[in-house]
Amino acid sequence: MVVAVCGVALVTVAGAIAPAGDYEQVIGGRADKILATVEGLDESHRERGRDAIVGFSRATNAWHEAHGPRRRELKSAQDEAAKAELAVLEGELATIRGAFLERLSGDLSPKQVEKVKDGLTYNVLHVTERAYHSMIESLTDEQKAKIHDWLIEARDLAISEGSSEAKHAVFGKYKGRINNYLSQQGYDLKQEERGWQARRKAAAAAATSTTTEAK
């Protein structure tokens, strides 16, 4: 399944870190690593961007600590009252995301903001997109655009999840949607994956052979 081959190992963002000082150090260090990948930032914009990311990490961590268990219960319920309550909670999380992106956009260009989103989600969007393109070489431009739009949507939701596993789960949901779409488009995903794996093995063998001959 594509869900498996496109997956990447993630690390916890808002995990249970008991000492407050340690937590602040972790989220500050994470913000620094993300911003190190963003080109064209002057020192003042970098500092304000760091403050925005750290503040967002605090806000999402606090929200998930307060509402995470209830949110999980509501997601497994089917009645209308549960759906309504869940919609309220999701709205609160969307508000936190919106405020963060608005603050970030005050100092960063749209391209730089996209880079921060990628950093917050471990570049899963691009890793997954490349995997689909490599696995199915006959994708049309329209199909590639559809995949890209869904992965953008997944990333923009995943930035406010409280752990690597939860971020990955958001992408997993959208990968399922993409897989269904591609199946409807006539692709046999199992066959496409087998072909992809065979091409990768052949490329690795060729690279090894070239290295051996060079010696």
Cα angle 115-158-26, degrees, rounded to a multiple of 5: 70
Asked if residue 147 belongs to a domain, the reply is: yes
Pair 146, 176 in one domain: yes
Residue 214 lies in a domain: no
Tell me: do 26 and 104 sit in the same domain: yes
* Domain extent at residue 49: 18-108
Same domain (yes/no): 129, 80: no
Query: Which pLDDT belongs to residue 208?
Result: 78
| Nearest residue to 81 via CA among 65, 92, 70 | 70
For residues 26 and 50, membership in a common domain is answered with yes
Question: CA 60, CA 56: separation in Å to the nearest integer?
Answer: 6
Residue 182: inside a domain: yes
Q: How far apart are CA 179 and CA 128, in angstroms?
A: 12
Distance of CA 108 to the CA centre of its chain: 20
- Pick from 108, 138, 153: which residue ends a domain? 108
52 plus 79 within the same structural domain: yes
Q: Are residues 150 and 188 in the same domain?
A: yes
Under a CB-based contact definition with an 8 Å cutoff, are residues 1 and 27 in contact?
no
Residue 210 lies in a domain: no
H helices present in the chain, as ranges: 2-5, 20-36, 43-76, 80-105, 110-120, 124-135, 141-158, 164-184, 189-214
Identify the domain boundary among 85, 108, 131: 108
Does 7 fall in a domain? no
Q: Are 126 and 88 in contact (CB under 8 A)?
A: no
pLDDT confidence of residue 18: 42
Would residue 114 count as lying in a domain?
no
Please give the pLDDT value at position 155.
Answer: 98
Task: Kindly state whether residues 98 and 164 are assigned to the same domain.
Answer: no
Q: Which among 52, 76, 108 is the end of a domain?
A: 108
41 and 78 part of one domain: yes
| Lookup: tokens for 76 | 């497994």
State how many domains the chain has. Answer: 2
For helices 164-184 and 189-214, what crossing angle results, to 10°? 110
Can you read off the two tokens belonging to residue 150? 């869904």
- Is 26 within a domain? yes
Q: Which of 191, 90, 99 is nearest to 138 (CA)?
A: 191
Same domain? For 89 and 125 the reply is no
Helix (H, G, I), strand (E, B) or coil at 39: coil
Q: Is residue 126 part of a domain?
A: yes
CB-CB contact of 164 with 30 (8 Å): no
129 and 92 assigned to the same domain:
no
pTM for the model: 0.85
pLDDT of residue 213: 66
Residues 6+ apart with CB under 8 A from 21: none
Mean pLDDT by 10 residues, the chain (215 residues): 39 44 91 96 96 97 97 94 97 98 97 98 98 97 98 98 96 98 97 96 84 63
Identify the pLDDT of residue 16.
Answer: 42
Q: How far apart are CA 127 and CA 212, in angstroms?
A: 30
The per-residue pLDDT for 78 is: 86
Query: 136 and 102 in one domain?
Result: no
Q: Which residue has the tokens 């994956």?
A: 193
The answer on 77 and 56 residing in a single domain is yes
